[in-house]
Structure 1
Amino acid sequence: MKMNWVGVMPAVTTKFTKDDQLDLDMFSTNINAQVDAGVHAIILGGTLGEASTLTQDEKRILVQHTVDLVEDKVPVVINIAEQTTKDAIIAAEQAEKYGAKGIMVLPPMRYKSTDYETVAYFKAVAQNTSLPMMIYNNPVDYKIEVTLDMFEELVQYDTIQAVKDSARDITNVTRMRNRFGDRLKILCGVDTLAMESMLMGADGWVAGLVCAFPRETVAIYELVKAGRIKEATAIYRWFMPLLELDISPQLVQNIKLAEVATGMGTEYVRLPRMPLQGKERERVEAIIEEGMRTRPDIPDLVRAKANV
């Protein structure tokens, strides 16, 4: 299956059992719900996937299990977030070996590389894989910005095809379109700016709350694409208090709590993360409960697409 970098792409959570093992049964329940809702790809091993806590063997298991599970209905993408260029190249090679159709690549981790070093890092990965790449630009959380001038060098590589933009600046969509036209696919990486970004020309949405609410997330994308902005806006306004759970240091715990509410996950996280407690837990639970109580109907157009 070709990687098109268009549409809704869940950055899925990793499911654990109470004794801290991979919970492939609940993981499968969630992936099947995503595919049934009409998502366009599955992204494994991102921040929401608690990738920094996973062993290499666990990553292999998750990729191979997901590839087998989706049966080529949607492409599987693996996130690459490594400390060294050597390890990033190895991770890209393993992703291809395990059946992934694309990779999402962050700048070097735990080292604030210069622009020159960052570009060299991405180039090295691009030169050592045939998989299509999406560059993850998140200067807010990872303190390294991939600027337009840096992308000017990177677009020389055919394998570099997309950007997940989490700069929290919607004007980036217009700036990138003005500079590169349609050379790069642009996907919004911030849940609370997704609809605005798509209205400005973004090609899709790497989503977080989709892990608990796939039908609603896909509905917003499909309605915007169909020009049914009023209907999309109504769902988006309902969704916003939930989407704000994604822009928090505890986004993993928040979203896993939402997955529990929709029957699509468990609350188990891997240490040092711990489930929410006290007043913050009460606040998040109240948001989720209100969202569940007022959950909107999905228009027929979107239901029909999901069933194709």
Structure 2
Amino acid sequence: MKINWQGVFPAITTKFDQNDNLDLDAFKKNLDVQIEAGIHGVILGGTLGEASTLTEEEKDQLIKCTLEVTDGKVPVVINIAEQSTKGAVAAAKRAESNGAHGLMLLPPMRYKADDRETVEYFKAVAAATPLPIMIYNNPVDYKIEVTLEMFEELADIPNIEAIKESTREVTNVTRLKTKFGDRFAVLCGVDTLAIETMVNGADGWVGGLVCAFPAETVAIYELMKSGRIEEAVAINRWFMPLLELDLHPKLVQNIKLAEVAAGIGTEYVRAPRLPLIGKEREEVLAIIDAGIRSRPTLPDYKALAN
């Protein structure tokens, strides 16, 4: 499947049961709601997916399950976050053999590679698979920035097609579009900056709170792309306290609580993560409950989709 790197791509959470096993029924329920809301792709195995805690067999199960549920309606993209080039190449090949449609690729984990090492890492993975690749640029969390000069070195590699822009610098979208035109699709990777990056030309949105509120997320995207900015801004103002739950070390616990409140998830996380307790839990639940109570009535945003 050719990937059109446009629209809303949820970084989907992994559902567990009380015995720390995959809860595929809950996982499927959430995916069904995502697809019904009009998402444009699914990303598995990111931070929200707790991928670093999953076995390879569990990852295989999740890919198979996602492909069954999506049934060709939207592309399924697998995140790769490995410590070595060898490991990343193996992960890319495994994703391809499992039927994934594309990859989201982070720089090397743990070791802070320099620019040359990072570019060579990306090139090696791209050479190992024909799958289309989105480079995840998040120097805030992962301490390596993929600069314009580095993207220039990657621009002649045809299957590196997109960038998940998470530098927190909104004008970086303008810089990328000015330098490269449409060579790379650019997707916002920071929930609180989605509208601003779309104004600047971003092609899509890799979301976190979309896991709990897919309709609202897709509505904002479709309204923005249709030029109905005031309507999108109004929904975004309602959404902002919820979106800020993504910008937190415990974003997984936060978003899973929001999924429970929305009726499309479970709260269970895999240790060393633990469910929120005490005042911290109460504060997050207060934000979620306020959002649920004031949830906006959405326009017929699906009619706006191309």
TM class by smaller structure:
over 0.9
Contact 1:220 1:232 in 2 (8 A): yes
Amino acid at match of 1:267: E
TM superposition shift of 1:70 = 0.7
CA apart distance, 1:154: 0.7
In structure 1, the residue corresponding to 2:110 is in which secondary structure? Answer: coil
SS in 1 for 2:274: coil
Q: Which runs of 5+ in 1 are unaligned?
A: none
Partners of 2:276 and 2:166 in 1: CA distance? 25
Shift of 1:64: 1.0
State the partner residue of 1:34.
34
Q: Matches of 1:100 and 1:297 in 2, distance apart?
A: 35
CA 1:91–1:143: 2 relative to 1, 3 Å? same
1:186-245 alpha-carbon deviations (Å, 9 max, x no partner) = 000000001110011000000000000000000000000000011100000000000000
Distance 1:303 1:96 in 2: 31
Structure 1 distance, partners of 2:170, 2:229, is 18
TM norm structure 1: 0.98
CA distance in 2, matches of 1:168, 1:268: 29
Q: Does the 8 Å contact 1:38/1:305 carry over to 2? A: no
Name the structure 1 match of 2:148.
148
Q: Name 1:67's counterpart in structure 2.
A: 67
Residue equivalent to 1:25:
25
**Paired residue secondary structure (1:273):** coil
- Runs of 4+ in structure 1 off by over 3 angstroms are 303-306
Structure 1 residue 10 and structure 2 residue 10: aligned? yes
SS at match of 1:83: coil
Give SS of 1:161's match: strand
| CA–CA separation in structure 2 for the residues paired with 1:195 and 1:274 | 32
The alignment's C-alpha RMSD in Å is: 1.0
The Cα shift of 1:278 comes to 1.0
Aligned length in residues? 306
Partner of 1:91: 91
Gaps of 5+ in 2: none
Over 3 Å counting, the alpha-carbon distance change for 1:235 and 1:145 in structure 2 is same
Q: Which residue number corresponds to residue 106 of structure 1?
A: 106
Aligned residue number for residue 293 of structure 1: 293
Matching residue's letter, 1:157? I
Alpha-carbon shift at residue 303 of structure 1 (Å): 3.9
Q: Deviations over 1:19-58 (max 9, x none)?
A: 0000000000000100000000000000000010000111
Counterparts of 1:1-308 in structure 2, within 5 Å, are 1-300=1-300, 302-304=301-303
Quote the Cα distance in structure 1 between the aligned partners of 2:167 and 2:304: 31
User: For 2:192 and 2:69, how far apart are their aligned partners in 1?
Assistant: 30
Task: Work out the CA distance in 2 between the residues paired with 1:19 and 1:273.
Answer: 14
- In the superposition, the TM-score normalised over structure 2's length comes to 0.99
CA distance in 1, matches of 2:304, 2:282: 36
Counting aligned pairs with the same residue, the percent is: 67
3-state secondary structure, aligned to 1:158 = coil
Question: Does the 8 Å CA contact 2:226/2:304 hold for their aligned counterparts?
Answer: no
Give the whole-Å Cα distance in 2 for the aligned partners of 1:303 and 1:135: 29
Paired with 2:264 and 2:277, the residues of 1 have a C-alpha distance of 21
Look up the SS of the partner of 1:14 in the other structure: coil
Cα distance in 2 for partners of 1:258, 1:272 equals 20
* Cα distance in 2 between the residues matched to 1:159 and 1:150: 16
Equivalent position amino acid for 1:7 in 2: G
- d(CA) in 1 for partners of 2:189, 2:218: 15
Q: Which amino acid aligns with 1:205?
A: W
Q: CA deviation at 1:304?
A: 3.6
2: CA distance between counterparts of 1:131 and 1:111?
Answer: 25
CA displacement at 1:156 relative to structure 2: 1.1
Distance in 2 (CA, whole Å) between partners of 1:93 and 1:266 is 31
> What is the CA deviation profile of residues 106-146 of structure 1, one whole-angstrom value per residue up to 9, with x for unaligned ones?
00001100111000000000111000000000000000000
